[in-house]
Structure 1
Amino acid sequence: MTTLKKQLGNMQRERAMGLENNKHLKIIDPAANDDFIARRLEAISKLAQKIRRITSLPDQARFASQLVDALAHCRISDDSKAWVTEALVKAAPSFEDDGNKDNELGILLVLACGDAIDVAATAASAPSMEFLAQAALSGLQYVSSLNDPQRELLRKDLMGLARSKIQDRGAQARQRQPVPTPVTSENCAAAATIMASNAKWDREEIDLLWWVVTDWSVVGDVRVSTLDAEPACVVSAIETSGLFAGPASQAHRNIATRHVGRLAEEQTPKEFASGSVEARTWARHALQNGIEDISRYPAILPALSIATLTDDQVWEALPASITAGAPLTIADWCRRLVDEIELLSRLGRSIVLTPAR
């Protein structure tokens, strides 16, 4: 017992900055003893190490989707189940999956993801989990508050952790670097790199300013200010995102919502989906390079899934990751689209900024 308590204390100190795993393990068993917790913490640590080896962005997107399903919809995929079970059996040999352990396995998967995101952000040698944090935040923000207060607390804690790892990226990326002076043969290569980087951000500012001044939607071939709220929301999110040279900051989201920011009325996902058919046509045209990814990862790209619905798709047949979202204002739908398009862009899917008709 002394050894178990020592292990438990070490794991608690290691996790002091991330999720409170001990507290969240009570979701599985409110009366869990030290042995139960220590063995689950060991399994979580092993799983986190595996997660940090997921370096492909498409694989991180798939994993984030599974994470959202595990926490929000109490579903765990077969491959994730096998993954967690293997780690848990090594830590707790007496564990047996009797077919009713999805809740426990899903919670362990979520906590391991939190560990992976937290450690990767603080260890210089660890591969980046920034995209995973961004994708997980996208999916978890979308779902409505969970009925189980303990699971809802875990959702909020994981969102807070993910948000802390990616906040201010947009503003930090756009900070201009000073060009060394005088430029000499020794520093000319570095100076050229810095000037090219600064010029990229200058070009972005000019393009966005021109978009605002002209008030013109390239995709819709119409003045943005003349559109109703929903089509204005969709084309603004798409077209400003197409001009961004890096991650969106709050200022960039404000530009995207300039035509819809004052509308306070909320729309459910179904109401947002039943809006402008023309806007969905524009969205499918502009995002044609990413349609397969949108359908592949609806849990982390739900607003894009709605914005690109075809006329023959039946709402009731869509997955819960799309239909179970909370009501949002049009401005919040617009911000969601901006953030999801950034995920899509990071997956290598470019936006088509040409007229849809």
Structure 2
Amino acid sequence: MLDIAPHVRIFEASPSDDFVKKRQAAIKEIAGKFFKPNYISRLLSVANGVVIASGSGKLPPDLANDVATSITKVSPAFVAEGHDLELATCAMLAAITAIKTGSKSGSLTAADYIAVGIWSGMSWQPGSNNERFENLRKSLLDLSRDHVLRAAAVGRTRSPPAGAVVLATDNGNLGKVIENLRSVIDTLVTNAAVDREEIDLLWWSISGWSDVLGMKYADAKPTAAAIALGLDAAKRLRRMPVDLHKALVLRRVPDGESISLAQLVKILGDDCASLGASFGSKTLVTENTQVFPLLNVLVSGHAKGTGKGAFSLPDLASRALLEAVTVDVVERREV
């Protein structure tokens, strides 16, 4: 069970044992709520809301109401007004609980969706000045990233096919033979998908051609080339990127000064629309601006609400890779 006592002190300086136990119960219920309904749109919306809270200390209204309802259930005297930091902290603790305890359901778990969204959103944030709150934010970010990378590594593991089952002379074990053949075929298909991903990515890396820009990276503006590298590589990946994929992208990133997203829009000019063209129709992107900040800038053509932080070209390339792959793997249900 998650030890919430150190984090409760973010909003309550001297909590009693009873206070901590009640918040523990509420957080457990909130974690369960995060998975209901178990739809992609709901899960990414939860991740987006938690990311907003981790940056501003305030949850979006709908998510804040869910959290407040669970707290009120165990503490009837609780009033949500004026307790934004408590609501945000409990939501983040619930996200940690959800990721750690989420059960399997198909090829992609609900916990995977939330972890992917939180990693994508929080990795873009500058961090909080509240030391205790920032420690919690980092813990959630690290957990989410490690969870996703672990799933990505496992999904790319090649497995040896099962040993052959020999058909008996009386055909008495025909069912077992057929089951064995199905197992072998499934394993070979899975291994072939891993091989194909590697081949596609390596050929792209060698070519030096950008599909999204329709030109060589060397002929494009440095900022456009950096982002295109991430977007183009993402099309070749079947699961979330690991360090090797990031390295293949960064090896071609041109030199350039760090810029803000507002400056990025001006520098890209017409390239902005080209880079964002395939994402404007995706509501998973446009409704979750904190999970996909860069893609939304490319789609909208403006950087309103994105802050004034400056980002290097490698940062932009890495960001484009992470966000574009997140969209793709979420739609295909594979991390």
Please give the TM-score of this superposition, normalised by the length of structure 2: 0.86
* Number of residue equivalences: 320
- Assess, with a 3 A threshold, how the Cα gap between structure 1 residues 256 and 48 changes in structure 2: closer, same or farther: same
Which runs of structure 2 are paired with 1:269-284 in the superposition (5 Å)?
Answer: 269-284=261-276
1:147 to 113, 121, 129: 129
Residue 86 of structure 2 corresponds to 104
- Assess, with a 3 A threshold, how the Cα gap between structure 1 residues 348 and 274 changes in structure 2: closer, same or farther: same
Counterpart contact for 1:143–1:325, Cα < 8 Å: no
- Assess, with a 3 A threshold, how the Cα gap between structure 1 residues 197 and 94 changes in structure 2: closer, same or farther: same
1:119 to 90, 94, 101: 101
- Assess, with a 3 A threshold, how the Cα gap between structure 1 residues 84 and 245 changes in structure 2: closer, same or farther: closer
Unpaired stretches in structure 2, ≥5 consecutive residues: 167-176
Residue 277 of structure 2 corresponds to 285
Residue 327 of structure 1 corresponds to 310
Residue 9 of structure 2 corresponds to 26
1:71-100 Cα offsets, whole Å, 9 max, x none, are: 211322222222122211221122233x22
1:229 to 222, 231, 235: 222
- Assess, with a 3 A threshold, how the Cα gap between structure 1 residues 239 and 255 changes in structure 2: closer, same or farther: same
Amino acid in structure 2 at the alignment position of 1:340: E
1:181-200 Cα offsets, whole Å, 9 max, x none, are: 54764322222222222222
CA–CA distance in structure 2, aligned partners of residues 336 and 188 of structure 1: 42
SS across alignment from 1:142: coil
Pick which of 140-149 and 340-349 moved more.
340-349
Counterpart contact for 1:234–1:279, Cα < 8 Å: no
Unpaired stretches in structure 1, ≥5 consecutive residues: 1-13, 350-357
Q: Considering only aligned residues, what root-mean-square deviation do their CA atoms show, in Å?
A: 2.5
CA–CA distance in structure 1, aligned partners of residues 55 and 68 of structure 2: 20
SS across alignment from 2:240: coil
Amino acid in structure 1 at the alignment position of 2:125: V
Amino acid in structure 2 at the alignment position of 1:251: L
CA–CA distance in structure 2, aligned partners of residues 289 and 149 of structure 1: 39
- Assess, with a 3 A threshold, how the Cα gap between structure 1 residues 36 and 118 changes in structure 2: closer, same or farther: same
- Assess, with a 3 A threshold, how the Cα gap between structure 1 residues 30 and 259 changes in structure 2: closer, same or farther: same
Matched, 1:300 2:285: no
SS across alignment from 2:129: coil
SS across alignment from 1:144: coil
1:264-284 Cα offsets, whole Å, 9 max, x none, are: 743333333332124312212
Counterpart contact for 1:143–1:326, Cα < 8 Å: no
Counterpart contact for 1:268–1:326, Cα < 8 Å: yes
Aligned-pair distance for 1:144?
1.0
1:90 to 66, 69, 73: 73
Counterpart contact for 2:99–2:115, Cα < 8 Å: yes
CA–CA distance in structure 2, aligned partners of residues 286 and 45 of structure 1: 38
CA–CA distance in structure 2, aligned partners of residues 21 and 326 of structure 1: 32
SS across alignment from 1:267: coil
SS across alignment from 2:267: coil
Matched, 1:161 2:143: yes
Aligned-pair distance for 1:125?
8.3
Residue 161 of structure 2 corresponds to 179
CA–CA distance in structure 2, aligned partners of residues 256 and 198 of structure 1: 24
SS across alignment from 1:94: coil
Amino acid in structure 1 at the alignment position of 2:185: A
Pick which of 105-114 and 279-288 moved more.
279-288
Counterpart contact for 2:121–2:290, Cα < 8 Å: yes
Pick which of 267-276 and 214-223 moved more.
267-276
CA–CA distance in structure 1, aligned partners of residues 4 and 148 of structure 2: 21
1:256 to 226, 236, 249: 249
Pick which of 249-258 and 60-69 moved more.
249-258
1:72 to 55, 67, 80: 55
2:198 to 192, 205, 214: 205
1:220-267 Cα offsets, whole Å, 9 max, x none, are: 22112332321111221111111112222211122222211x747433
- Assess, with a 3 A threshold, how the Cα gap between structure 1 residues 96 and 222 changes in structure 2: closer, same or farther: closer
CA–CA distance in structure 2, aligned partners of residues 29 and 308 of structure 1: 41
Counterpart contact for 2:230–2:249, Cα < 8 Å: yes
- Assess, with a 3 A threshold, how the Cα gap between structure 1 residues 124 and 304 changes in structure 2: closer, same or farther: closer
Aligned-pair distance for 1:159?
1.0
Counterpart contact for 1:68–1:136, Cα < 8 Å: yes
Please give the TM-score of this superposition, normalised by the length of structure 1: 0.81
Identity within the alignment, %: 22
Amino acid in structure 1 at the alignment position of 2:224: P
Matched, 1:61 2:44: yes
Aligned-pair distance for 1:212?
2.1
2:31 to 17, 23, 48: 48
CA–CA distance in structure 2, aligned partners of residues 256 and 298 of structure 1: 24
1:200-220 Cα offsets, whole Å, 9 max, x none, are: 222222222221222212232
Counterpart contact for 1:219–1:286, Cα < 8 Å: no
SS across alignment from 1:304: helix
- Assess, with a 3 A threshold, how the Cα gap between structure 1 residues 143 and 39 changes in structure 2: closer, same or farther: same
Aligned-pair distance for 1:294?
2.3
